[in-house]
Amino acid sequence: MVGIGPHPDRESALARVSVVNYNGEQVYDSYVLPKEPVTDWRTHVSGIAPHHMKIARLLDEVQADISRLVKDRILIGHAIRHDLEALMLGHPKKDIRDTARHAPYRKLAGGSSPRLKILASELLGFEIQDGAHSSVEDARASMLLFRRDKAAFEREHARKWPNRAPIEPNETEGQSATGNKKPRKKKKKKKR
C-alpha cells in the first residue's frame, strides 16, 4: 500500500499484489498503478518506489487476474480481509483461513490480532519485514504458518463450517494457495 490524497497517513491505495501456492512458490506478482496520485510512497515500509510504476498494471486488470486465480479456492493470508478490500474483491468466508484470526495465534498476542512479523519470528524462527516489506515474503510466511498448524486451523474452521472438506495440497495444479480433493465414491458391494 502507498499513501494517497491530502492525508497519506490515513488514505491508502494498493500498489502490489503477490500470490504464492501451497508450497510457497510465487504464482502471481504485479505492481498496481493507483488511480489517485501517490502523495507518500512509504518506500521504507512498502518497498515500493516511483520507478516500479513503469511496469505497474491497472487495478482492473489485476482484479480480473486475482479473481480468476482465487475462484473456487481457499485463500490463506494474514488479515486477508484488508487485502480483499484493497483489491475490492469478495470471497466466501468459508473459503478463507486467516492467520491473524487463528485463536492460538491471537492468544500469543494477548487476544488481539498478532503481527505477522512476530508470528514468523516466534513460530517459524526467521525474521521478515526488516525494513521494507515484501508482499511475496509476507505471503510465504502466512502459508508457512498455516502449514505449521494446518490441523488446528481445520478443526477450528470445521466448527464454523462443518460441511467443508479438509485442505489437501494439489501438486498438479500449482496455482492455488491450496487445493481441494474430491471425495472418493464408495464402491458398491455386489450381492452374490
What CATH number is given to the structural domain containing 91?
3.30.420.10
Q: Look at residue 151 and tell me if it is in a domain.
A: yes
Q: Look at residue 27 and tell me if it is in a domain.
A: yes
Q: Look at residue 170 and tell me if it is in a domain.
A: no
pLDDT of residue 133: 85
How far is the C-alpha of 47 from the C-alpha of 131, rounded, in Å? 8
Residue 138 CB-half CA count within 13 A? 25
pLDDT of residue 126: 92
Q: Look at residue 79 and tell me if it is in a domain.
A: yes
pLDDT of residue 182: 40
The count of structural domains within the chain is 1
10-residue stretch averages of pLDDT, the chain, 192 residues long: 93 96 97 95 93 97 97 96 95 96 93 94 92 91 97 92 64 39 44 49
Q: Look at residue 44 and tell me if it is in a domain.
A: yes
Cβ atoms of residues 31 and 51 within 8 Å: no
Distance of CA 132 to the CA centre of its chain: 18
pLDDT of residue 176: 37
* Residue ranges making up the domain that contains 27: 2-160
pLDDT of residue 70: 96
Cβ atoms of residues 44 and 131 within 8 Å: yes
Q: Look at residue 104 and tell me if it is in a domain.
A: yes
How far is the C-alpha of 146 from the C-alpha of 106, rounded, in Å? 14
Q: Look at residue 177 and tell me if it is in a domain.
A: no
Q: How far apart are the first and last CA of the chain?
A: 67
Q: Look at residue 150 and tell me if it is in a domain.
A: yes
